[in-house]
Amino acid sequence: YGEISIPMSEETFPAGDLFTQLVIVSGDEQQKRELETLSIELSEKDSLRETLTRMQQVNNPLPIENLFDPTETEPSPKKVLLIGRAGVGKSTLCQKISHDWASGKEWQKFHAIYWIPLRLLNNADHLLKQETPDLFLASVVAELLLEDPEATDGVLKQIQERKSEILVIFDG
């Protein structure tokens, strides 16, 4: 992972240990908790800190390493949508998943992980005109991630042959 210098010190800290363990909850569960909390008169019940703590309590946390595992309601998850307020760690989680896979630490059930920050598509209108979703993805990976448009055919072949083993993360 590497080391990060600690400001005003000669010491360093392992970058891999800096990731905060996020808790993933279902959208329905969180929305219900927020509505219940907001319906309570703040001055009658709790301080602001107590209210926020109650909103953030989790009944059934999902460990991040199980994010793509089958569940009772989703036997074979194909899509996962991370939502949350700005600054809660959605992009950091996307980067961590990619980094952990690349370093061989986690997510090895995937043959490849493509982390695509959506801001990269801002100046890539020509890619939006691809004939198929597979060709679009292959073009994005080759041109924007690998910076090698000639790799498109190879990436396309990989996507078509190993589609169920590739994780695509659109971040933005």
pLDDT tens digits for range 137-170: 999 999 999 999 999 999 999 999 999 899 999 9
Residue with the larger pLDDT of the pair 108 and 69 = 108
Report the alpha-carbon distance of residue 77 to residue 18 in Å, rounded: 29
Report the alpha-carbon distance of residue 34 to residue 54 in Å, rounded: 9
- The Cα diameter of the chain in Å comes to 65
Report the alpha-carbon distance of residue 39 to residue 23 in Å, rounded: 24
Distance of CA 82 to the CA centre of its chain: 7
pLDDT tens digits for range 6-58: 778 888 877 666 655 566 665 555 556 556 655 555 555 555 556 556 555 65
Mean pLDDT of 76-103: 83
Q: What does the pLDDT read at residue 50?
A: 62
Confidence of residue 115 (pLDDT cuts 50, 70, 90): very high
Report the alpha-carbon distance of residue 86 to residue 105 in Å, rounded: 27
Residue owning tokens 């589609």: 163
Compute the Cα dihedral for 98, 104, 108, 112 and give only its sign. positive
Paired strand residues for 113:
167
Report the alpha-carbon distance of residue 51 to residue 66 in Å, rounded: 29
